[in-house]
Amino acid sequence: MSIKLTILGCHSATPRENAHPTAQFLQIKSRNFLIDCGEGTQTLLRRHQISFSKIKHIFISHLHGDHFFGLVGLIATFGLYNREHDLHIYGPKGLKEIILLQLKYSKSWTKYKLFFHELESKESELIYEDKKVEVHTLPLDHRIYTNGFLFKEKIGERKLNMEAVGNYPEIEVCDFHNLKRGKDFRSADGKTTISNNELTFPPKKALSYAFCSDTAYKPELVPLLQGVDLLYHESTFLEDKKELASITKHATAKDAANIASQANVSHLILGHFSNRYKDLDAFLSEAQTIYKNCSLAETGKIFEIKS
């Protein structure tokens, strides 16, 4: 099991030559997800050699431009490339209306199908699930309706201990499936029962990634983030601008570190930096006074973890 996160953009507000608004590409359990889509995302996807065809699900945190102004352009480019497979978009109510209006008046209708999954709940909810992965919303505290997203691997099958299995001739290949699913072995005549723990090894640890986009400090997130392996939490400001952070409903590096520490996450990524700051190392220094295991987001930087 593994998670690979590519940071495409990690700055706030307006795009600049070397500071791009929010976008991330996540690979988890052989699934590919685009998270937010700030202006210029498709250019960054090309720069980092991420195939457009891999993107089948896009998650938009909220409707501030630096998080979704690149979406309609990406959708249109997919059409120019004669895309055929469906595209699913998850985001706040109103996103569908905005995108379809742009497509309508630019006469850029797609031949592939667009499915919008519009979100309104202020409680955490399951919004995507398949056999290997599930995605939950993380309700945030911002100036408009905003969600983060929690991506979780599902626990896989147990691994057969073939040496132990070989000690029991009565166990046949047709029994392997049930053993991998955690069932004890029982002989056909019911006389023999062998514990699954004797015949298998535990599955690998299921990994998780949490994306906390624009938000004020919100302690209510801590239970939802408990034990997460990798957490991206916005840190628009340092403590010197704490009052401004409160007014604009953003977080400081110290706020992000407090959340990570309380939630016992394995690693924290700081991002969404204000263009007021030239020395981003100051964000790391501030956060590490509370939580040591953290890094700065950076365009093109890859974070990868394996179980």
Dist CA 232 CA 27 (whole Å): 15
Q: Which residues are catalytic?
A: 66
For 158, which DSSP code?
P
> How far apart, in whole angstroms, are the C-alpha atoms of residue 292 and residue 261?
9
Question: Residue 20 — left, alpha, or beta (φ > 0 → left; ψ -120 to 50 → alpha)?
Answer: beta
Show Cβ contacts of residue 173 under 8 Å, excluding neighbours closer than 6 positions: none
Edge-to-edge strands of the sheet including 268-271? Answer: 126-129, 133-139, 147-153, 208-212, 230-234, 268-271, 294-296
Q: Are 272 and 62 spatial neighbours (Cβ–Cβ below 8 Å)?
A: no
